[in-house]
Amino acid sequence: MKTFSGQFYPTYFAFPREATLLLSDQLLSIGYHDEAGNPVRLDWKLSEVQGDFLMGEQCSRFIHSSSQAECRVKNQEAFEYWEEIKKEHTLPWYRKKRTGNLRRTVGLLLAMLLAGSLFYFLMMPWLAEQMAKVVSIKTERQLGDGVFEAMQSTQQEDTAATRIVNEFFSALQVETDYSIRITVVKDEEVNAFALPGGRIVVYTGILESMESYPELAALLSHEYSHVEKRHATRSMFRSMGSELFVSLLFGKSSALASLLVGQVNQLRTL
């Protein structure tokens, strides 16, 4: 049995929902929240599911044969595990990994753990979302500073451009409870992103591609909206889940630092 995070499409044209997929040798179990925020669980028999890997989108796809609902996982591992299960089903009983009493025992254990596992993977993202909404700006700033410090070893700041861009943002006179701190990094990549607590990182590559101050104002306004709406904070809390809660609760700074390092690449897309 393996668990994957992905998206669930109730119909072909439906808006996707964040979901947790649990692949076992008999079932594909899907956990997600409906429009009202209530947890929903679906159990698809593997005999009713078609699986493939979309090369263009680099994702594993599973389609229910009768409802045509589908799930997608942004990796190839899910499809490879699906193929492994299918191959297992074609083997003679004496060559299967689980046989006789062992299969029944494992099946019973999986059934007992399934409810608890789905509860955990459904509730943890929801709890993370709620915590992200109420966490203090001070805590957000600590998280953002931790990520920024983790990036420092691989990036070189353009101090002159940093000063100019911060002065430009101050001139916009944006009313906010956050202390917005913009850092310009010497990098040819055309990118900018927001960190929790008010930090914004701008690459010189995107500045050099601009032709006017309104373009810069639009960029900074866009990144500021990520800060104000706590997009980066929510992303971190959802992805790190229980590990972040434990680190914050018990003050394990070393553990928190290692978690923050792993978030750098993800936050660069915000």
Q: What is the pLDDT of residues 129-149, one digit of tens each?
A: 777 778 889 988 988 898 888
**Same domain membership, residue 144 and residue 257:** yes
Type of residue found at 107: G
Q: How far apart are the first and last CA of the chain?
A: 33
Starting at the edge strand found earlier in the chain, the sheet holding 181-185 runs 181-185, 199-203, 192-194
Whether 20 and 102 share a structural domain: yes
pLDDT of 243 > 70? The answer is no
The range of the structural domain enclosing residue 140 comes to 135-267
- Among 70, 101, 122, give the residue marking a domain's end: 122
Q: Is the pLDDT of residue 233 over 50?
A: yes
pTM over 0.95: no
- Does residue 179 belong to any structural domain of this protein? yes
Residues 43 and 99 grouped into a single domain = yes
State how many domains the chain has. Answer: 2
pLDDT at 115 over 90: no
Q: What sections of 135-179 are H helices per DSSP?
A: 137-152, 159-171
Q: Are residues 94 and 141 in the same domain?
A: no
Last residue of a domain, one of 122, 143, 158: 122
> Which has the higher per-residue pLDDT, 216 or 246?
216
